[in-house]
A and B are shown apart, each in its own frame.
Chain A
Amino acid sequence: MTSELDIFVGNTTLIDEDVYRLWLDGYSVTDAVALRVRSGILEQTGATAAVLQSDTMDHYRTFHMLERLLHAPPKLLHQLIFQIPPSRQALLIERYYAFDEAFVREVLGKKLSKGTKKDLDDISTKTGITLKSCRRQFDNFKRVFKVVEEMRGSLVDNIQQHFLLSDRLARDYAAIVFFANNRFETGKKKLQYLSFGDFAFCAELMIQNWTLGAVDSQMDDMDMDLDKEFLQDLKELKVLVADKDLLDLHKSLVCTALRGKLGVFSEMEANFKNLSRGLVNVAAKLTHNKDVRDLFVDLVEKFVEPCRSDHWPLSDVRFFLNQYSASVHSLDGFRHQTLWDRYMGTLRGCLLRLYHD
């Protein structure tokens, strides 16, 4: 006796969250059944393995049919075929677009192209995430990217509107899209200690302050691209390290203010010029795409690592950066205060976030 056909269709579509997770994680029906058996569900419910197999198949079939709609979430809301309560629809969408930390770290900042897609095999092996799940996550990134790429207005709002994601997840996607668009390098070994959260945090600050949208929300192409003019202007900051007097004055202002307040004062004093040069040079180089991509590498190399090697506590870093940015306002010969604030305000936030072990 073999089952040729075995289906269950409810007027309200039944969604089993556990099975949905297994499906999203890319397990085959057989694996999913095995995992469910291991979870002890048979004992709890008194069901048989055959029942579980049939149930799993059924849910997988439903998810497979829903997947087409999940690619354009507003369709899921308007379609008539599956009657699903709104809260369940939201859950389906949210889970479908959720991603694994390990996976996103692998592709963050990479071009979302066929080439990268070919590397998914390796990523799957490396992260232990099934290839199927990798594909789904990658395709999600790419799909969101494609839809919002050419769109005006706030990146987060656009994503939320077209994919109906929660605020949190929409922000994460904004970061992913932003990174992919600007191709920031995140895979270098020295950046491995950084989490996706760290990058997403920086991305949000940069979107808020360094893009065209930050200045004028009526502009095209807004949140995705850095403000070219702004990057060009950043060259002007070079004077802070190029002009020896200005550099000395800046140092003395910072040192006076921080004397006695910093545990690592002497180290700071000794390193001031190096650090300052590092930070200003990063700014000055941002006109080149290549250097934009290396932004995070540079920041870690030029600032995070030196401080870390001197064992600066985070509080000292904060004191220093606050004072370092603020003191510039007292430099009479320096004319680019606004530019400096736009640059340093964001950079300070990023650095503080990046500064950990």
Chain B
Amino acid sequence: MPGKLKVKIVAGRHLPVMDRASDLTDAFVEVKFGNTTFKTDVYLKSLNPQWNSEWFKFEVDDEDLQDEPLQITVLDHDTYSANDAIGKVYIDIDPLLYSEAATVISGWFPIYDTIHGIRGEINVVVKVDLFNDLNRFRQSSCGVKFFCTTSIPKCYRAVIIHGFVEELVVNEDPEYQWIDRIRTPRASNEARQRLISLMSGELQRKIGLKVLEMRGNAVVGYLQCFDLEGESGLVVRAIGTACTLDKLSSPAAFLPACNSPSKEMKEIPFNEDPNPNTHSSGPSTPLKNQTYSFSPSKSYSRQSSSSDTDLSLTPKTGMGSGSAGKEGGPFKALLRQQTQSALEQREFPFFTLTAFPPGFLVHVGGVVSARSVKLLDRIHNPDEPETRDAWWAEIRQEIKSHAKALGCHAVVGYSESTSICEEVCILSASGTAAVLNPRFLQDGTVEGCLEQRLEENLPTRCGFCHIPYDELNMPFPAHLTYCYNCRKQKVPDVLFTTIDLPTDATVIGKGCLIQARLCRLKKKAQAEANATAISNLLPFMEYEVHTQLMNKLKLKGMNALFGLRIQITVGENMLMGLASATGVYLAALPTPGGIQIAGKTPNDGSYEQHISHMQKKINDTIAKNKELYEISPPEISEEIIGSPIPEPRQRSRLLRSQSESSDEVTELDLSHGKKDAFVLEIDDTDAMEDVHSLLTDVPPPSGFYSCNTEIMPGINNWTSEIQMFTSVRVIRLSSLNLTNQALNKNFNDLCENLLKSLYFKLRSMIPCCLCHVNFTVSLPEDELIQVTVTAVAITFDKNQALQTTKTHVEKSLQRASTDNEELLQFPLELCSDSLSSHPLPPAKEHLESASSNSGIPAAQRAVTVEKASPVGDGNFRNRSAPPCANSTVGVVKMTPLSFIPGAKITKYLGIINMFFIRETTSLREEGGVSGFLHAFIAEVFAMVRAHVAALGGNAVVSYIMKQCVFMENPNKNQAQCLINVSGDAVVFVRESDLEVVSTQQPTANCQSSCTEGEVTT
């Protein structure tokens, strides 16, 4: 009996009128945990009842503490009839179960009803007394910390990164139980909310147990998802990365922990290389390992494909193999050995992290992905969810083998997703194959494993670009050149990854959001036929999505994609593919070639003219983009570094082989040689369309940038003005013109218009960047397409954005000086001493100039003034201030990023994971579908904020809306929506507030950071 839960109901306010006669309410509260229920007294005739109850005490197992939510129901007492429910509050008490997080939950919670929405608020205080339990065989995992953040959380240090943890639990969906036919929608919704809450708790506890088994104490990059499989049940699954984290203890609570490797990762601005002097151009090879597989589920049905689709563009050609491996080779081998041993003990060497402590990531191979089409079947025994487990195991196995093929032992930036339509389900997994530094993965013989002697040998700034695979035995034809940075190792000509841009990567110019969008019609079919049809379509979609990405990347004049996320959504009669990534120009990779258009019938004069016209347009666009994104790598002739022998240009070749045999291989090989020769062959109208659509993507208006990674490469000077938002659009396709082309255009327009609307709405924040732009596509009905976007807009300092047109030389000269300012304004809590030795990735001169300036941070940083809203308080008139100036509701910031610009996170209070259902039977009265969903999302935000505030926090980081399932039935005037959100509740302190404290105590922590600085640079 290891825990006592104590709950006190203080008061209510803004309650709805429940008694029409008196216009008042006789409210009381039921507090339920597990099977125990307490009640408060009835507070007669008030909309603002003051119950001020005693402490209700629940004595419970910690297993229950983890699984069960605290359920608070507010009711209206009725003498003659049944009491009416006003609404409920579910409180997840998990944050109270580990010592470093929240100690008490106390505050105003919105009272939520699934039919009426928020109806007033209730003030609750919750505490937990935990007793130590030394039972080794316990079922609970209290004390394991969970983080949604996909990097090592700010105020922690990673001692060991253990690796992948996963779990899933299944149950019957209450909505599909027989009892649902006789109970009210409210009861059914509440049963569902409660069940999912329970399942989440159970899942988290089970994952916690696995972590404890691995001797870890935390899960980072925790991603939990629901699969609403309809008739066949409800699956809640989660993946994460088990770690052993050390709290960075500092003498003063506020004292910035300078020695946190993880912190540096985030808080050091990405730097542009001031003088990337070692560039040259050479043959380019887009490297990307895109693999997929799919198999109609039933075990008897044959595996229809398991294949590597290697879309790499050059066959092995004149690869100067001479000195390349000389330095790297033996070392690489050694490293591989070590890593291998560390990783091979693991079933799945996967990491859900997208950003890493410096030195963790050694090489990146490319994107690996796998998909599988399954037929859903009723889950007969919820306690044995073996089928689902087996499905995922299969996919993970495949990912692992793909990574192996790329010479990598690990997969980072790993994620899993599903798309369900009726009884067909597409399971997808993707990640980035990588070679990791084994030091982080082993149980710590090495004290504070982040100080690596090893690193000194490694060219950290470009190292991750170097190929991990053996160039003589490449898994696929790729085109390699010497690294443009160190000139010692080989690099591919294009790099695709699912991770964030490493902090120490050298990037030229700015990045931009790149999207590939695609629709494919499919015939309506049943069960297996349907699954087969989908399976057959998938490779074509993957191929086209990839081609689009590549074309768009080249059109932007860039050579690498980060944060790549390809979503394939299945609907009744179509498949949608949406890939989002952030394109950048990596200094270590060769300059991308242009795009050439080739006509099919070269003899036709007018046709030729048309082609050349198009070609000109494309060239113009590339030039314009290079200017827009400030991509101006130095031109160095190829001879200098002796690039591989250029070879005669080859025509694009597309090889497709397909058979029904079980070992069918779909090979798509698109290859050609010379760098300028990315050839688009226009041989039919389709191809023409493609070229057109390439050119129709409008760049964001000036002053706007966008990316889907944490922050924008090339912008460092963020202000603290942030605005997180969710935007949802649903379009109805007219069923008449359903051709692939029309569909593509509709989908493309939908996404483009949505972006345009966002730019317009947020125009007051210019200059600004939309970060972590996350698009989700779903197909709720036959002719409906729903796109949901969540992102955060962050304003940055204009002054630096303006210096765009400077030539490269000027820029590099200036950079040294501007960098200092950037540093100072960026959320570094620099004790003035530590600044000089901060482990900055950029070149030495930066450090020197930075240190020379380190005396002035106070004045400089005062610039970051808090602005609460994007619209600011600028022009509010200075009439005599009305008394409402002091609002009683504290501001809670929300952001999908893992940090808050201009602020330092001092404490993680626990994970927020909430699931809501809202239903209406008076859709028109609530403002139609838009009014309904608008209100619901606003309510969800409000409930998240209230929970965070009650935990004592003032922000949610790594916020994500994982699901937004919207169903409507306008004829019946009904609609229903399910939303699942999660994030990390934190306490942050403004940089400006930190100022005082940090200048007073500049000593202890700086020492350690000095040593670190040495190591990293």
A contact residues vs B (CB 8 Å cutoff): 1-17, 45-48, 50-52, 54-55, 57-58, 61-62, 64-65, 73-91, 93-94, 160-161, 164-168
Assuming A11-B894, A61-B930, A86-B885, is B118 touching A45 (CB within 8 A)? no
Task: Check A87–B876 contact: CB distance below 8 A.
Answer: yes
Say yes or no: is B79 at the interface (Cβ < 8 Å to chain A).
Answer: no
Compute how far the CA of A4 lies from the CA of B632 in the bound complex, rounded to whole angstroms.
44
Task: Check B746–A77 contact: CB distance below 8 A.
Answer: no
B454-500 at interface with A (beta carbon < 8 Å): none
Which residues of B sit under 8 angstroms from A64, Cβ to Cβ? 927, 931
Compute how far the CA of A15 lies from the CA of B873 in the bound complex, rounded to whole angstroms.
11
Say yes or no: is B883 at the interface (Cβ < 8 Å to chain A).
Answer: yes
* A-binding segment of B146-154, B188-196, B214-222, B727-735: B727-735
Task: Check B884–A77 contact: CB distance below 8 A.
Answer: yes
Task: Check A15–B884 contact: CB distance below 8 A.
Answer: no
Assuming A3-B730, A164-B883, A166-B882, is B868 touching A77 (CB within 8 A)? no
| Min distance, Cβ B893 to any Cβ of chain A, angstroms | 7
Which residues of A sit under 8 angstroms from B880, Cβ to Cβ? 166-168
| Min distance, Cβ A15 to any Cβ of chain B, angstroms | 6
Closest residue on chain A to residue B737 by CB atoms: A1
Task: Check B761–A78 contact: CB distance below 8 A.
Answer: no
Compute how far the CA of A2 lies from the CA of B749 in the bound complex, rounded to whole angstroms.
11
Task: Check A1–B729 contact: CB distance below 8 A.
Answer: no
Task: Check A160–B883 contact: CB distance below 8 A.
Answer: yes
| Min distance, Cβ A353 to any Cβ of chain B, angstroms | 22
Query: Which of A11, A17, A45, A65 sits near B763, CB closer than 8 Å?
Result: A45
Closest residue on chain A to residue B885 by CB atoms: A86
Which residues of A sit under 8 angstroms from B756, Cβ to Cβ? 47-48, 51
| Min distance, Cβ A260 to any Cβ of chain B, angstroms | 44
Assuming A10-B725, A12-B868, is B876 touching A82 (CB within 8 A)? no
Task: Check B701–A12 contact: CB distance below 8 A.
Answer: no
The 26 listed contacts between A and B (C-beta, < 8 Å) are: A4-B732, A5-B929, A5-B933, A6-B757, A7-B727, A8-B726, A8-B757, A9-B727, A10-B870, A14-B723, A45-B760, A45-B763, A48-B756, A51-B756, A51-B757, A61-B931, A64-B931, A77-B889, A78-B14, A80-B121, A81-B118, A84-B869, A86-B884, A87-B876, A160-B883, A166-B880
Compute how far the CA of A7 lies from the CA of B758 in the bound complex, rounded to whole angstroms.
11
Closest residue on chain B to residue A44 by CB atoms: B763
Compute how far the CA of A4 lies from the CA of B725 in the bound complex, rounded to whole angstroms.
20
* A-binding segment of B242-250, B670-678, B835-843, B939-947: B939-947
Question: Interface range on chain B: under 10, 10 to 19, 20 to 34, or 35 or more?
Answer: 35 or more
| Min distance, Cβ B866 to any Cβ of chain A, angstroms | 10
Query: Interface 1/0s, chain B 864-888, versus A by CB < 8 A?
Result: 0000111101011001111111111
Closest residue on chain A to residue B926 by CB atoms: A65
Which residues of A sit under 8 angstroms from B730, Cβ to Cβ? 3-6
Task: Check B727–A83 contact: CB distance below 8 A.
Answer: no
| Min distance, Cβ B955 to any Cβ of chain A, angstroms | 10
Task: Check A1–B746 contact: CB distance below 8 A.
Answer: yes
| Min distance, Cβ B321 to any Cβ of chain A, angstroms | 52
Task: Check B13–A93 contact: CB distance below 8 A.
Answer: no
Which residues of A sit under 8 angstroms from B966, Cβ to Cβ? 5
| Min distance, Cβ B688 to any Cβ of chain A, angstroms | 22
What 5 A-B pairs come out closest when comparing CB atoms? A87-B873, A85-B868, A5-B730, A164-B884, A167-B880
Query: Which of B760, B869, B887 sits near A47, CB closer than 8 Å?
Result: B760
Closest residue on chain B to residue A92 by CB atoms: B884
Query: Which of B731, B784, B938 sits near A81, CB closer than 8 Å?
Result: B938
Assuming A7-B728, A61-B931, A86-B885, is B749 touching A1 (CB within 8 A)? yes
Most A CB within 10 A of own CB, among B727, B761, B784, B880: B761
Say yes or no: is B753 at the interface (Cβ < 8 Å to chain A).
Answer: yes
Say yes or no: is B359 at the interface (Cβ < 8 Å to chain A).
Answer: no
Say yes or no: is B934 at the interface (Cβ < 8 Å to chain A).
Answer: yes
Which residues of B sit under 8 angstroms from A54, Cβ to Cβ? 757
| Min distance, Cβ A280 to any Cβ of chain B, angstroms | 39
Closest residue on chain A to residue B883 by CB atoms: A164
Say yes or no: is B158 at the interface (Cβ < 8 Å to chain A).
Answer: no
Task: Check B108–A80 contact: CB distance below 8 A.
Answer: yes
Say yes or no: is B212 at the interface (Cβ < 8 Å to chain A).
Answer: no
| Min distance, Cβ A90 to any Cβ of chain B, angstroms | 5
Compute how far the CA of A45 lies from the CA of B763 in the bound complex, rounded to whole angstroms.
8
Closest residue on chain A to residue B941 by CB atoms: A11
Query: Which of A8, A62, A78, A90 sits near B882, CB closer than 8 Å?
Result: A90
Compute how far the CA of A10 lies from the CA of B733 in the bound complex, rounded to whole angstroms.
28
Task: Check A9–B891 contact: CB distance below 8 A.
Answer: no
Which residues of B sit under 8 angstroms from A168, Cβ to Cβ? 879-880
Assuming A4-B784, A5-B729, A61-B934, is B761 touching A45 (CB within 8 A)? no
Say yes or no: is B11 at the interface (Cβ < 8 Å to chain A).
Answer: no
Assuming A9-B725, A9-B727, is B887 touching A81 (CB within 8 A)? no
Task: Check A93–B723 contact: CB distance below 8 A.
Answer: no
Closest residue on chain B to residue A10 by CB atoms: B725
Say yes or no: is B433 at the interface (Cβ < 8 Å to chain A).
Answer: no
Task: Check A7–B881 contact: CB distance below 8 A.
Answer: no
Closest residue on chain B to residue A7 by CB atoms: B934
Most B CB within 10 A of own CB, among A90, A161, A165: A90
| Min distance, Cβ A163 to any Cβ of chain B, angstroms | 9
Which residues of B sit under 8 angstroms from A9, Cβ to Cβ? 725-727, 934, 937-938, 941
| Min distance, Cβ A74 to any Cβ of chain B, angstroms | 8
Task: Check B731–A8 contact: CB distance below 8 A.
Answer: no
Closest residue on chain B to residue A84 by CB atoms: B869
B384-439 at interface with A (beta carbon < 8 Å): none
Given contact pairs A13-B938, A51-B753, A61-B934, enumerate 6 new A-B contacts (beta carbons under 8 Å): A4-B784, A6-B757, A81-B941, A83-B941, A160-B883, A166-B881
Compute how far the CA of A45 lies from the CA of B757 in the bound complex, rounded to whole angstroms.
11
Task: Check B753–A10 contact: CB distance below 8 A.
Answer: no
Compute how far the CA of A103 lies from the CA of B209 in the bound complex, rounded to whole angstroms.
70
Query: Which of B701, B728, B891 sits near A5, CB closer than 8 Å?
Result: B728
Say yes or no: is B342 at the interface (Cβ < 8 Å to chain A).
Answer: no
Compute how far the CA of A58 lies from the CA of B723 in the bound complex, rounded to whole angstroms.
17
Query: Which of A5, A87, A90 sits near B930, CB closer than 8 Å?
Result: A5
Which residues of A sit under 8 angstroms from B725, Cβ to Cβ? 8-11
Task: Check A89–B884 contact: CB distance below 8 A.
Answer: yes
Compute how far the CA of A90 lies from the CA of B784 in the bound complex, rounded to whole angstroms.
41
| Min distance, Cβ A332 to any Cβ of chain B, angstroms | 47
Closest residue on chain B to residue A41 by CB atoms: B760
Which residues of B sit under 8 angstroms from A15, Cβ to Cβ? 871
Closest residue on chain B to residue A161 by CB atoms: B883
Query: Which of A11, A46, A75, A81 sits near B723, CB closer than 8 Å?
Result: A11
Task: Check B892–A65 contact: CB distance below 8 A.
Answer: no
B746-765 at interface with A (beta carbon < 8 Å): 746, 749-750, 753, 756-761, 763
Compute how far the CA of A84 lies from the CA of B935 in the bound complex, rounded to whole angstroms.
15
